[in-house]
Chains A and B, each alone.
Chain A
């Protein structure tokens, strides 16, 4: 019983950790798409952010500077997407795909040129990373039955970026629904003409949205390379950008539901790891690949089965063109 509870706690704890980059990226996607700009490039921005964080951390040894580097690179990628989609009114999906390809290629090429380890960056010392924060008194709390482990490992026991990710959700919600910027952002995603005729710049509003998306992707990337792991390795995002996008769509472009969708994907991931090598009664061992594919299969099922198209911001994907 005790043992089962500990197992559960450890799965929950892992869930939060795997969900963190998804939450950052889903919030990024939400800001971008609420403004009407499709963000397929979450994956690429996250990957570039992860690479930038690792490089800066290697050179400076400072986790904070590394985070800043990731954010700046995220912003730059966001601006590139903005230039293509907002200023030049290009196809938003194509631009996003281009960003993904560019990030996947550049990180490997530059990593190889600079560090020569097949794209891997050197391992980081604890100082250059965001390390696990232990909540006060966790050693004693640990011995308290039931709630003790929860305090020590679910509420506490994560690195700073995990907390920032879950704080980003209420903050994002508040910005979206309680500030002037949020009102305008939601409006521009529904109908840019309305915003334009209300005397507000559509272009500047959408640029701000893609910049915010860039910043959040920077956080997500930094989390992967300098918090959860101790180095950057090629393609380390492994489709998380797309899963986050799916979670955001599943959450109908709203912060709280999107977060819960991220947690669901995180949970599946955590469970999948536990299930490896487990003997199922009557089935026997399930191949690792099948279990690892579970979150992706769920994504497809959820997206195909449960999300109505009608919920998307109305102007999503359409560049704002006044004169035909």
Chain B
């Protein structure tokens, strides 16, 4: 594939050719949160433009304004050089803009065809439009390799295919500007490559692509031009050729960051957590965890990689006593757990297992509680927090203050409501709470999801320090980089099963990616 001209900025016609998108002074606040501050941005026609920034930098907000989902408080939008008023998504669609949202905009019980047609039905009755839509889907499948069964229900499709449906929806409406908001978060590395091929093919036919991500690698891999957002502001726009990882990271965070961790070799001790033939069936009768077994030793980090939704959440919940086992057993230090001898979160804690849940707002903290209350959750029966009859408020506030100090939680105010801390600081609070009791086993899910780079660094170092102090750590994450840089051993989960084990030092993205898609097994089956 020939290289695309960089941003068209250097081509002679650039001066005469209007930009595909021009944003001028876009401003947007959600209550007290100033999500976009006077943002201006120019995106050249037929380019691939990347927008990078940390979680919460305001990227999604900016794109949602362009797509008419939110209305800006101030600012102007020009499409192909013409000022447009975008009052809703219909205006954006009419202006030729299509968007693949971070959280897919698909009706789950509907079929692919129904989802594609919704809003572009072509007539009051469905029948006529459905025939045309089917034909158009076939054409798009041929032209871009976007194959999906039009009659499949969305809820039955894997995320990679759901994303294709999102792209098809946009193409079906004849967009010539396609915005993709964090499209690779749910994909394996191979699926990401496929997606990029599709994007290049679209771009070759003149579609302007706007790619939003927080992953530096992807920006360098595919974009012509890159813009960096930080805390609601657009801080830089430069041709990708001139950008380096370090430079972009610095622009994103606003200071120099170390991207590498120094990690020593692990010295595993005795087995602390042993899982045997563990199977978990959910309320609908679907097997979520299927015959999983492993040993976790003191002083090691065992990483579990996999595309989200392959049973990792259920495994975490089973281990931490939130979800009952269907069969198999767990040995936690000297506690034996089986379906006949179940346990709950309180017992688990007593035996020295601490849990940092994946979804911190649902299971980690109560957003309406002040920090000092959230910091005792789960340990609220401890002697140190309780007087003879009432709870000891001063003790709790003091403990919270100390933990905030040690884990560098900002602002250092035990009275602040949990919901008002940033994601990174909420996560530090939870980590502080769970680590403070020197657990024998720590089970962490997505420790840095929605956390800023500075806090990621800090959290990673804390986890390594804890390992070196002899804690057994089970790390579940969908961020492959995170699993690879922290783990001493890596297990890969696919459809509830462990499909591979790799040594931490030998792990590379390609092998893990193939395991995550269970490509080996499928190749065997085909053979």
Interface residues of A (CB under 8 A from B): 178-184, 186-187, 190-191, 193-201, 314, 322-324
Contacts and interface: CB of A to CB of B under 8 A. Distances in A.
Given A190-B109, A201-B88, A195 B126 contact: no
B125 A178 contact: yes
B126 A322 contact: no
Contacts of A324: 30-31
A178 B123 CA distance: 11
B107 A190 contact: yes
Interface in B79-103: 88-94, 99, 101
Chain B interface helix/strand/loop/mixed: loop
Contacts of B127: 178
A178 B121 CA distance: 11
Given A186-B107, A198-B118, A199-B94, 15 more contacts: A180-B125, A181-B124, A187-B107, A187-B118, A190-B110, A191-B106, A194-B106, A197-B67, A198-B119, A199-B88, A199-B91, A200-B119, A322-B69, A322-B70, A323-B31
**What are the 4 A-B residue pairs with the smallest beta carbon separation, nearest first?**
A198-B119, A199-B90, A180-B121, A199-B89
A194 B118 contact: yes
A193 B126 contact: no
B125 A183 contact: no
B443 interface: no
Contacts of A190: 107-110
Contacts of B125: 178-180
Contacts of B31: 323-324
Contacts of A323: 30-31, 70
A190 B111 CA distance: 13
A314 B110 CA distance: 12
A240 B88 CA distance: 41
A195 B108 contact: no
Contact of B126 (A183, A194, A196): A183
Interface residues of B, number: 35
A193 B69 CA distance: 9
Chain A interface helix/strand/loop/mixed: helix
B126 A180 contact: yes
B117 interface: yes
B124 A194 contact: no
A7 B99 CA distance: 64
10 contacts: A179-B124, A180-B129, A183-B126, A187-B114, A194-B106, A196-B69, A197-B67, A198-B118, A200-B118, A323-B30
Contact of A180 (B107, B110, B124): B124
Contacts of B101: 197
Contacts of A201: 88
Nearest to B123: A180
Interface in B146-189: 169
Contact of B118 (A184, A193, A314, A322): A184
B105 interface: yes
Contacts of A186: 107, 110
Nearest to B92: A199
Contacts of B117: 183
Given A180-B121, A183-B118, A183-B121, A198 B89 contact: yes
A184 B118 CA distance: 7
A197 B93 CA distance: 9
Contacts of A178: 125-127
A24 B51 CA distance: 53
Interface in B125-145: 125-127, 129
Contacts of A182: 126
Nearest to B109: A190
Contacts of A180: 121, 123-126, 129
Given A187-B110, A190-B109, A314-B108, A199 B119 contact: yes
A215 to B, nearest CB: 19
A191 B99 contact: no
B89 A197 contact: yes
A201 B91 CA distance: 12
Interface in B37-64: none
- Chain B CB count within 10 A is highest, among A179, A194, A195, A324, for A194
B286 to A, nearest CB: 13
Contact of A197 (B69, B110, B114, B123): B69
A195 B118 contact: yes
A195 B69 CA distance: 11
A314 B155 CA distance: 13
Contacts of A314: 108-109
B126 A200 contact: no
A315 to B, nearest CB: 10
Given A178-B127, A199-B88, A194 B107 contact: yes
A193 B88 CA distance: 12
A112 B129 CA distance: 55
Contacts of B88: 196, 199, 201
- Chain A CB count within 10 A is highest, among B92, B108, B109, for B109
A193 B70 contact: no
Contacts of B124: 179-181
A198 B105 contact: yes
Contact of A199 (B30, B93, B129): B93
B482 to A, nearest CB: 28
A308 to B, nearest CB: 10
Interface string B185-205: 000000000000000000000
A322 B60 CA distance: 13
Nearest to A324: B30
Contacts of B92: 199
B510 to A, nearest CB: 35
B72 to A, nearest CB: 12
A310 to B, nearest CB: 8
Contacts of B69: 196-197, 322
A269 B208 CA distance: 65
- Chain B CB count within 10 A is highest, among A180, A196, A314, for A180
B109 A195 contact: no
Nearest to B93: A199
